[in-house]
């Protein structure tokens, strides 16, 4: 999407703190439904054209929230297609001027606005180096979309709050549909997502009760594994950019390799437990956290929530593990919103942040 002009921003400013972010969180079921009903065909067409070119490797380019979308796409592409993937270090080309051979490499650049100069420059350089370039944005008229060979519109609609919410989940779904298209799937497993998202939004009071635990928190730790890892990275980012509370996110495997030492009985830890292999891999980590007496809050299946200090049962029964990611983040977006309000701050306009980040 394009960042709102000052006049547009004034027109969309509400007096009650957090109303813009709350409204955009609530728009997610409609945004997911719109992408499934109106955008899936175009995504499948792009997938067919890319598949015909048989890319041998994938590079993912993004910043901020979109970087967490890219991490999700990395899991999808490596697990579902067996394609090796890497996350681009843009400064190798934009700052150091490195020359790369990117023939037969698919470069996917993800940016809600499509306006960040470093993303545009990096994508242009990749295309000149022989890459197949694909932009994933919420703005089909953006500079990034124009410089890329292919484009996916996530169709989330205008997003005015500085913390990205609906563009995040829409981007996840767009990448899922792309990978399904690349592997010859129909994406029908995603049809249930809008309804499950509505179920989550109807439980706002549960999230508000959990938020009270973190009103005076000085630091938080998030952990998960597998497809849940992008979720905790995004949840930590949302909390930091709205509340300014330092929030650290770790793969459960990495948490055990040292950082676990900082977790004690007064350390708030939020674990996202997928229903699948990622959740199974996280079990030893949850056990170690319980042994250390951590204040452990779980977002996941009922059995895991029951063994934690508190939690939120996710409605993910029967949902493929790779699609649970799209649902997991919604209550955590609500949590960031509610904690920020409880701390007397406005999540719509975090200080010192801009919708389009300009780096070079």
- Show the domains of the chain with their CATH numbers: 6-193 (3.40.50.10490), 203-342 (3.40.50.10490)
- Give the C-alpha distances (Å, rounded to integers) separating 201 from 94, 204, 355: 41, 6, 25
The mean per-residue pLDDT over the stretch 196-207 comes to 98
Please tell me the distance from the alpha carbon of residue 213 to that of residue 239, in angstroms, as a whole number: 14
336 within 8 A of 242, measured Cβ to Cβ: yes
For 137-172, the pLDDT digits (tens) are: 999 999 999 999 999 999 999 999 999 999 999 999
Residue 356 pLDDT more than 60?
A: no
Please tell me the distance from the alpha carbon of residue 166 to that of residue 146, in angstroms, as a whole number: 23
Please tell me the distance from the alpha carbon of residue 261 to that of residue 240, in angstroms, as a whole number: 22
Please tell me the distance from the alpha carbon of residue 351 to that of residue 360, in angstroms, as a whole number: 22
Tokens of 317: 């029964």
Question: What's the mean per-residue pLDDT of the chain?
Answer: 91
Res 88: pLDDT:
87
Residue 15 pLDDT more than 80?
A: no
305 within 8 A of 297, measured Cβ to Cβ: no
- Cross-strand partners of 61: 109
Please tell me the distance from the alpha carbon of residue 244 to that of residue 238, in angstroms, as a whole number: 9
Which H/E stretch holds residue 304? helix 302-306
Beta strands in the chain (DSSP E): 57-62, 85-87, 105-110, 132-137, 150-153, 220-224, 247-251, 268-272, 295-300, 310-313
Asked whether the CA dihedral 185, 171, 327, 219 is positive or negative, the reply is: positive
DSSP secondary structure of 35-61: IIIIIHHHHHHHHHHHHHT--SEEEEE
For 22-79, the pLDDT digits (tens) are: 999 999 999 999 999 999 999 999 999 999 999 999 999 999 999 999 999 999 999 9
Share of the chain above pLDDT 90, in %: 82
253 within 8 A of 229, measured Cβ to Cβ: no
Alpha-carbon torsion angle 63, 64, 69, 71, nearest 10: 80
For 106-143, the pLDDT digits (tens) are: 999 999 999 999 999 999 999 999 999 999 999 999 99
Nearest to 221 by CA among 294, 323, 160: 294
Q: Which residues contact 322 (CB under 8 A, 6 or more apart)?
A: 75, 76, 79, 80, 176, 227
Res 265: pLDDT:
63
């Amino acid at each position: 999407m394009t960042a709102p002009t000052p006049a547009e921003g004034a027109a969309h400013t509400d007096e009650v703190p957090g109303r813009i972010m709350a409204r955009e969180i609530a728009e997610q079921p409609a945004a997911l439904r719109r992408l499934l009903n109106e955008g899936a065909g175009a995504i499948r067409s792009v997938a067919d054209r890319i598949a015909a070119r048989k890319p041998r490797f994938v590079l993912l380019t993004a910043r901020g929230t979109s970087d967490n979308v890219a991490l999700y796409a990395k899991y999808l592409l490596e697990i579902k297609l067996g394609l090796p993937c890497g996350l681009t270090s843009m400064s190798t080309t934009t700052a150091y001027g490195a020359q790369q051979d990117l023939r037969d490499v698919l470069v996917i650049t993800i940016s809600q606005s499509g306006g960040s100069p470093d993303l545009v420059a990096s994508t242009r350089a990749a295309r000149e180096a022989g890459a197949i370039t694909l932009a994933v944005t919420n703005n089909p008229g953006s500079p990034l979309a124009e410089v890329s060979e292919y484009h996916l519109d996530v169709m989330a609609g205008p997003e005015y709050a500085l913390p990205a919410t609906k563009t995040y989940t829409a981007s996840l779904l767009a990448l899922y549909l792309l990978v399904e298209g690349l592997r010859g799937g129909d994406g029908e497993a995603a049809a249930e997502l809008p309804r499950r998202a509505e179920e989550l939004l109807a439980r706002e009071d549960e999230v508000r009760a959990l938020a009270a635990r973190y009103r005076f928190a000085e630091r938080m730790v998030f952990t998960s594994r597998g497809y849940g890892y992008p979720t905790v990275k995004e949840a930590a980012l949302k909390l930091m950019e709205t509340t300014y509370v330092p929030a650290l996110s770790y793969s459960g495997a990495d948490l055990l390799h040292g950082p676990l030492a900082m977790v004690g009985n007064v350390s708030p830890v939020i674990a996202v437990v997928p229903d699948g292999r990622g959740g199974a891999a996280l079990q030893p980590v949850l056990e170690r956290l319980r042994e250390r007496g951590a204040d452990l809050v779980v977002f996941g299946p009922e059995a895991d929530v029951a063994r934690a200090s508190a939690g939120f049962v996710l409605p993910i029964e029967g949902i493929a593990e790779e699609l649970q990611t799209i649902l997991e983040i919604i209550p955590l977006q609500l949590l960031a919103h509610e904690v920020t309000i409880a701390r007397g701050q406005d999540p719509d306009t975090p200080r010192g942040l801009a919708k389009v980040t300009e780096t070079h």
